[in-house]
């Protein structure tokens, strides 16, 4: 399947990280290797990249894409929340770190793991298949109150109660197994599209965040990443929804080890959004490691 290969905000990430030959960089969300490739290209001939990605299939694709830079990168199949401790163990400090949060086009369109409500696939949503908890476990096992809390906390879903009630009623007859079943159940109780969004958008976002513990991973990363940055080194984070962006903004503002570089989040140009509509909600924030 054809998937989009241009990394989001490529130019802005390279400029704000001040990527230079000989520099050492971390890509915490390698995905299909778009930002990794850009970092290796811009730090040629001798820059080095440490890449982290927890989805095995994405990592294999990225490895092939980066093959021509052999000897200049090391990839780990690991959660980026582990990256600071892994690199600290190797005694490393780096010049720049990028995180491009969320889903790749590969996970969304070709993984078969139920990330899209536009496809009928098993309700799985694990980005890391070594994890045991799937979306169907949450949908079929949480109580009404827990479902409402999940939809509010991770989806900011205004119809949380209505959706939770519908889930509880539906699963009395039979457990919900597929994205198609869940999406049409939500459509039957929330007909109106808000801001042109499919009624299941926020529920799918909430389940995905919970299954992958996305906010916990980001918080842990934010608290430990400054330790692996050289003084003057930079960290650039692209987020796709306000829950993530708020965490990043707060950490960059409050962490005494960091100085925010972007006063306001950078957004993709209209031209980039035209080429890659999925970039439209991307927000980039950058911070610099202060001198100790």
Ligand X SMILES: C[S@@+](CC[C@H](N)C(=O)[O-])C[C@H]1O[C@@H](n2cnc3c(N)ncnc32)[C@H](O)[C@@H]1O
In the complex, which residues of this chain contact ligand X (CB under 6 A)? 7, 29, 31-35, 52-55, 58, 79-81, 100, 102-104, 107, 127, 217
For the chain, how big is the Rg over CA atoms in Å?
Answer: 20
Question: At closest approach, how far in Å is the CB of 14 from ligand X?
Answer: 12
Question: At closest approach, how far in Å is the CB of 216 from ligand X?
Answer: 9
Is 246:110 a contact under the CB 8 Å cutoff?
Answer: no
Please identify, using beta-carbon distances, which residue of 171 and 278 lies nearer to ligand X.
278
Is 218:101 a contact under the CB 8 Å cutoff?
Answer: yes
User: SS3 for 150?
Assistant: helix
Question: At closest approach, how far in Å is the CB of 168 from ligand X?
Answer: 30
Burial class for 115, CB neighbours closer than 10 Å (0-12, 13-18, 19+):
buried
Which residue has its beta carbon closest to ligand X? 34
Question: At closest approach, how far in Å is the CB of 218 from ligand X?
Answer: 8
Dihedral, CA of residue 224, residue 226, residue 227 and residue 233, to nearest 10: 150
User: DSSP per residue over 176-234, as a string?
Assistant: --BHHHHHHHHHHH--SPBTTB-TTHHHHHHHHHHHTTHHHHHHHHHHHGGGGEEEEEE
Question: At closest approach, how far in Å is the CB of 137 from ligand X?
Answer: 19
Element (H, E) at 172: helix 160-173
- Assigned token pair, 255: 């962490």
Question: At closest approach, how far in Å is the CB of 182 from ligand X?
Answer: 21
Closest CA to 27 of 56, 50, 8: 50
d(CA 1, CA 10): 23
Is 279:273 a contact under the CB 8 Å cutoff?
Answer: yes
Residue 37 pairs in a beta bridge with none
Question: At closest approach, how far in Å is the CB of 282 from ligand X?
Answer: 9
d(CA 67, CA 70): 5
Please identify, using beta-carbon distances, which residue of 113 and 166 lies nearer to ligand X.
113
Please identify, using beta-carbon distances, which residue of 14 and 160 lies nearer to ligand X.
14
Please identify, using beta-carbon distances, which residue of 50 and 80 lies nearer to ligand X.
80
Question: At closest approach, how far in Å is the CB of 101 from ligand X?
Answer: 6
Pairing of strands 48-52, 73-76: parallel
Please identify, using beta-carbon distances, which residue of 28 and 233 lies nearer to ligand X.
28
Please identify, using beta-carbon distances, which residue of 104 and 201 lies nearer to ligand X.
104
Please identify, using beta-carbon distances, which residue of 55 and 181 lies nearer to ligand X.
55
Please identify, using beta-carbon distances, which residue of 57 and 153 lies nearer to ligand X.
57
């Amino acid at each position: 399947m054809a998937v989009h290969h241009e990394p989001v905000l490529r130019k802005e990430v390279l400029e704000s990280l001040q990527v230079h030959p000989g520099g050492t960089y971390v890509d915490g969300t390698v995905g299909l290797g778009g930002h990794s490739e850009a970092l290796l290209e811009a730090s040629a001939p001798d820059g080095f990249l440490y890449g982290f990605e927890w989805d095995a299939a994405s990592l294999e694709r990225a490895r092939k894409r980066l093959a021509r830079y052999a000897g200049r990168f090391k990839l780990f199949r690991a959660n980026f929340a582990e990256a600071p401790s892994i690199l600290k163990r190797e005694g490393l400090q780096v010049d720049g770190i990028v995180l491009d949060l969320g889903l790749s086009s590969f996970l969304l369109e070709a993984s078969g793991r139920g990330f899209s409500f536009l496809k009928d696939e098993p309700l799985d949503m694990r980005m890391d298949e070594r994890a045991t908890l799937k979306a169907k476990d949450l949908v079929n096992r949480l109580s009404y109150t827990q479902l409402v809390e999940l939809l509010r906390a991770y989806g900011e879903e205004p119809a949380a109660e209505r959706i939770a009630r519908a889930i509880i009623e539906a699963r009395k007859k039979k457990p919900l197994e597929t994205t198609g079943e869940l999406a049409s159940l939500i459509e039957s109780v929330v007909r109106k599209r808000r801001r042109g969004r499919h009624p299941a958008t926020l529920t799918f976002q909430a389940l995905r965040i919970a299954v992958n513990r996305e906010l916990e991973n980001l918080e842990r990363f934010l608290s430990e990443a400054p330790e692996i940055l050289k003084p003057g080194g930079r960290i650039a984070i692209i987020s796709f929804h306000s829950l993530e962006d708020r965490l990043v903004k707060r950490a960059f503002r409050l962490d005494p080890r960091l100085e925010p570089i972007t006063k306001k989040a950078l957004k993709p140009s209209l031209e980039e959004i035209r080429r890659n509509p999925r970039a439209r909600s991307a927000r980039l924030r950058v911070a610099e490691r202060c001198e100790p």
